[in-house]
Structure 1
């Protein structure tokens, strides 16, 4: 099973939105994460419900940030996406009859729950603002004076 990139994708999009003052279309944002605009809009629904983004339809419309990035943690974004599993290990059988498999499954489930609790706590300590600052710190070393989007989006306007 392919690991989910939904949290990574959402963070990527939120950081793009945090860098601009104008709305960005679903098409533009979808191209930043190489996905379909319909998939992007589905992901954005939870972020909108959480109050992190707003969308406007029509000419000049698109997505904008609606909350300060210093108040949004990575855990908040994870929860807005429906709290998908952060750690995923498969089991030979979900409900085995074998006593050995039962012990193995229980041990793995308990360990995954403990690891996920630690990871969620850490995600609750990291804000989008911290990620944006790190991007800003690295930006001059990229060897390019292009906009934040230059490596993703080929658009007619420079959003910065």
Structure 2
């Protein structure tokens, strides 16, 4: 089953960007994420529309975080990405005639709604600053690694 990893990729990119002194190019982020620069530009465009990042043109240009890390929650990022489905599971048939399947759907829909509400609440409580602090702790405890390529 294919999973949507855009939120994970965005968090990865933003944490790398937070460690840089200046703008980071789409090419550098693409190398870091193992994807194409066009995918990076498209995804960062959503974040720019939400006021989370800004882009600078020209030779020294690139993407930079515009908002305070402590003010950016995972929920805001999820919403900026168009609120992709949180779960890759669902009902077999959305409008069944079978009463058994209607019963199953009702139970699953209730469970999905409760789980989604809980996950959205937790996403509201986690900020980029929280992730950056965890990264800093891990980085301090790990052997030296190469910086993000420019």
Question: Shorter-chain TM-score category?
Answer: over 0.9
RMSD between superposed Cα atoms in Å: 1.4
Q: Which runs of 5+ in 1 are unaligned?
A: 150-154
- Distance in 2, matches of 1:145 and 1:31, equals 16
Q: Which runs of 5+ in 2 are unaligned?
A: none
CA positional deviation for 1:94: 2.5
CA positional deviation for 1:145: 5.0
Q: How does 1:50-65 map to 2 (within 5 A)?
A: 50-65=50-65
Higher helix share: 2
1:121-154 Cα offsets, whole Å, 9 max, x none, are 111111100100100001122212543x3xxxxx
CA positional deviation for 1:106: 2.1
CA positional deviation for 1:19: 1.1
SS at match of 1:63: strand
CA positional deviation for 1:96: 1.8
- Distance in 2, matches of 1:103 and 1:30, equals 46
Q: How does 1:11-160 map to 2 (within 5 A)?
A: 11-147=11-147, 149=148, 155=149
- Distance in 2, matches of 1:80 and 1:74, equals 10
1:6-37 Cα offsets, whole Å, 9 max, x none, are 11011111111111121111111111111111
Counterpart position of 1:152? none
* Count of matched residue positions in the alignment of Structure 1 and Structure 2: 150
TM-score, normalised with respect to structure 2: 0.93
- Distance in 2, matches of 1:135 and 1:43, equals 22
- Distance in 1, matches of 2:145 and 2:98, equals 61
- Distance in 2, matches of 1:71 and 1:65, equals 12
